[in-house]
Amino acid sequence: MELILNNLLTLILFTPVLAALVVMILPEDQEKLIRWVAFVLSFIPLALSLVLWMSFNPGQPGFQFEQKVFWYSAINSSYHVGVDGISLTMVLLTTLLTPLAILASFTIKERIKTYMALFFLLEMGMLGVFLMLDLLLFFVFWEFGLVPMYFLINQWGSEKGEREIWGGRKVPARIYASFKFMIYTMAGSLGLLLAIQMIGVVSGTFDIPELFARWTALDGTLFGMSTGTVKAIAFWAFAIAFAIKVPIWPFHTWLPDAHTEAPTAGSMILAGVLLKLGAYGFLRLVLPLYPVESRTYAGALGFLAVMAIIFGALASWGQRDFKRLVAYSSVNHMGFVVLGIAAAAYTLGVESEPLALSANLALNGAVLQMFNHGLSAAGMFFLVGVIYERTHTRDLQEYGGLFPLIPVYGGVLIFTSMASLGLPGLNGFISEFLVVRGSWPIFTLYTALAMIGLFFTGAYILKAIKEVLQGPLNEHWAGHITEINARELLVIVPLMVLMLWIGVTPAWILNVINHAVAMWF
């Protein structure tokens, strides 16, 4: 037990790799065995994260469960892990969604072994980003997560569909989507890598807690420019990399493609966790490392957030493809995360009691919204997958009136949609309310404009429910469509329970987030 507690974060981070190796040595033709072994093994990181959650002390400032081993002492980079309330929430989200995603992947028929192994590697990549307190290793894991996801979309993505690029050339949609996802994110990472290198060279360390003090205090001239200019350039390198990942409008167009073409479980993780990496980057690195620049450009960030909220909702409403509709809803919801972050950024360094409280609430809301969106987006993508496996279409106009045929699925879909819509009593409301409340005194106009997006959230959610479940029955499906089965219920019910739980009594999770937020900002 002592051994486990002392190395808890390392265990959480690398047990997925172990799981991947175990899955790899299983015989290829034992499909059932592979699935179940993968499913069972995926509970190890979850169990460890629950131990972590229980033994975590929210009231203690700074990082906990830290471990630091020199990794590359020539450049002063070390394997340094640690969690605070923000990363802890994200770790829990990741380890929680992975078993569910694996269970949702039981219908995968081709190359299951590789598929499952990739999934575990993906989990490790994401966990690494949340756990690392070393800038260089942060980047390594940041990039690492891309690779499994690329293959998941590229190899196991939807088989139908084409995308036209220039000159009438057509490419298969999943190739297009995976390529766009990979290249776009990599393009953003280039600047990030350069900026990280520069910070490392200038500060002489990659250790994030150390940098919080050293890098921000840096003054004078660098490379013949004032530190202000250098920092502003580095700030934008960071901001753009994370903005693409979140994604913030107008860097969002990879998202509907990638989400739509990815296999169901891939979309669940993509929307559930991968998008949070970007927002997490803002919280963990951008705000603490660049307080001055964050404040300067917070208005711009807030503006882009509102654009994401409004146009994400509008674009979602305009879709005919069920999965694309859900994909665009992520743009809309992540906009609230960014709005909260922008509001907090604007108050950095401002000594004002009421503004500090507002910033605190906005950040609480933003982090909780990250978690909540993880639940509801994963749930929604899963439900799209469930109906797709039965009908082999994602075109909303080909469904119609399915409620009497699949009442349980219908109920589950309405419940999950309502959580996504932010219905009070369910989780999304708490976080959206906190963001709105927090950003109102700081970005009054933006907050007011965000309400347009909130209104259209209702429009697209109801559109989806209407096209799928209500109206005259499309007789084509009568007798051909089956009710959601036990395995599928097992995937969605934990998510639903959490949505209701957080909606009714949010204190257990908000308390952890609030302490972390209060100590940082």
Kindly identify the residues of this chain, within the stretch 306-325, that bind other proteins according to CB under 8 A. Answer: 311, 314-315, 317-319
Separation between Cα atoms, residue 289 and residue 208, nearest integer Å: 9
Residues 373-412 that bind other proteins (CB under 8 A): 401, 403-404, 407, 411
Q: Quick one: which segment of 45-53, 233-241, 343-351, 447-455 binds other proteins (CB under 8 A)?
A: 447-455
Q: Is 157 helix (H, G, I), strand (E, B) or coil?
A: coil
Render 209-220 in DSSP notation, one character per residue.
Answer: HHHHHHHHH--S
Give the nearest distance from C-beta 414 to other proteins in angstroms. Answer: 8
* The one among 190, 451, 490, 493 contacting other proteins by CB under 8 A: 451
In whole angstroms, the minimum distance from the beta carbon of 215 to other proteins comes to 25
Q: Of 377, 344, 361, 375, which Cα lies nearest the Cα of 432? A: 361
405 near 478, Cβ under 8 Å? yes
Minimum CB–partner distance for residue 5 and other proteins (Å): 26
Q: Which is nearer to other proteins, 218 or 462 (CB)?
A: 462
**Which residues from 95-124 bind other proteins, rule CB under 8 A?**
111, 113-114, 117-118, 121
Q: Residue from 456, 464, 484, 492 that binds other proteins (CB under 8 A)?
A: 456
- The minimum distance between CB 383 and other proteins, in angstroms, equals 18
Residue 40 or 451: which CB sits closer to other proteins? Answer: 451
> Minimum distance between the CB of residue 220 and other proteins, rounded to whole angstroms?
31
Q: DSSP letter at 443?
A: S
DSSP 77: E
| Residue with Cβ nearer other proteins (301 or 361) | 361
Binders in 494-513 for other proteins, by CB under 8 A: 505-507, 510-511
User: How far is it, in rounded angstroms, from Cα 133 to Cα 151?
Assistant: 28
Cα separation, 296 vs 487, in Å, equals 50
Residue among 236, 393, 437, 474 that touches other proteins (CB under 8 A): 437
Which of residues 57 and 73 has its CB atom nearest to other proteins in the complex? 73
The Cα–Cα gap between 245 and 251 comes to 8
| Count, residues near other proteins per rule CB under 8 A | 76
Task: Please select the residue that binds other proteins; options are 37, 222, 233, 462, rule is CB under 8 A.
Answer: 462
Quick one: which of 251, 209, 218 has its CA closest to 338? 251
Tokens at 232, concatenated: 């502003």
What's the burial of 383, exposed, middle or buried (CB within 10 Å: 0-12/13-18/19+)?
Answer: buried
Inter-helix orientation angle 507-520/353-391, to 10°: 130
Tell which one of 31, 466, 477, 501 touches other proteins (CB under 8 A).
Answer: 466
518 touches other proteins (CB under 8 A): yes
Residues 1-30 close enough to bind other proteins by CB under 8 A: 24
Task: Pick the closer one to other proteins by CB: 231 or 515.
Answer: 515
CB of 510 to other proteins, least distance (A): 5
Spatial contact of 182 and 146, defined as CB atoms under 8 Å apart: yes
> Does residue 184 interact with other proteins by CB under 8 A?
yes
473 near other proteins, judged by CB under 8 A: yes
Q: How far is the CB of 39 from other proteins (least distance, A)?
A: 19
Question: Considering beta carbons, is residue 21 or 47 the nearer one to other proteins?
Answer: 21
- The residue among 5 and 448 lying less far from other proteins, judged by its C-beta, is 448
Q: Does 492 bind other proteins (CB under 8 A)?
A: no
Q: Which of 298, 418, 492, 495 binds other proteins (CB under 8 A)?
A: 418
Q: Which residue has the tokens 């891939």?
A: 266
Binding other proteins (rule: CB under 8 A), the pick from 168, 220, 349, 472 is 472
Residue 89: CB partners within 8 Å, gap ≥ 6? 367, 370, 371, 509, 512, 513
Instruction: Give the nearer residue to other proteins in terms of CB position, either 230 or 337.
Output: 337
- Where helices occur in 166-290 by DSSP H, the ranges are 173-203, 208-217, 227-245, 254-261, 264-269, 275-281, 287-289
**Using CB under 8 A, which residues numbered 200 to 239 contact other proteins?**
none
3-class DSSP state of 162: strand
> Would you give the binding string for other proteins spanning residues 319-358, x where CB under 8 A is met?
x----------------------------------x-xxx
Residue with Cβ nearer other proteins (261 or 293): 261
User: Which of 235, 443 has the CB closer to other proteins?
Assistant: 443
- Residue 484 C-beta: closest distance to other proteins, Å: 15
Helix, coil or strand: residue 442: coil
Question: Closer to other proteins at the Cβ: 257 or 293?
Answer: 257
Q: Is residue 62 a contact residue for other proteins (CB under 8 A)?
A: no
Return the HEC string of 218-243.
Answer: CCCEECCEEHHHHHHHHHHHHHHHHH
> Do 92 and 49 form a contact (C-beta atoms < 8 A)?
yes
Q: Which of 91, 248, 361, 366 binds other proteins (CB under 8 A)?
A: 361
Cα gap 85→70, rounded to integer Å:
25
Encoded amino acid at 429, one letter: F
Helix axis angle, 208-217 to 173-203, nearest 10°:
60
User: Cβ closer to other proteins: 302 or 506?
Assistant: 506
Q: Please calculate the CA angle 220-224-225 and round it to the nearest 5 degrees.
A: 65
Cα(366)–Cα(51) distance, integer angstroms: 25
**Residue 33 binding other proteins, by CB under 8 A:** no
Q: Determine, following the binding rule CB under 8 A, whether residue 74 of this chain makes contact with other proteins.
A: yes
- 170: exposed, middle or buried (Cβ count in 10 Å: 0-12, 13-18, 19+): exposed
The pair phi, psi for residue 52, each rounded to 5°, is -60, -45
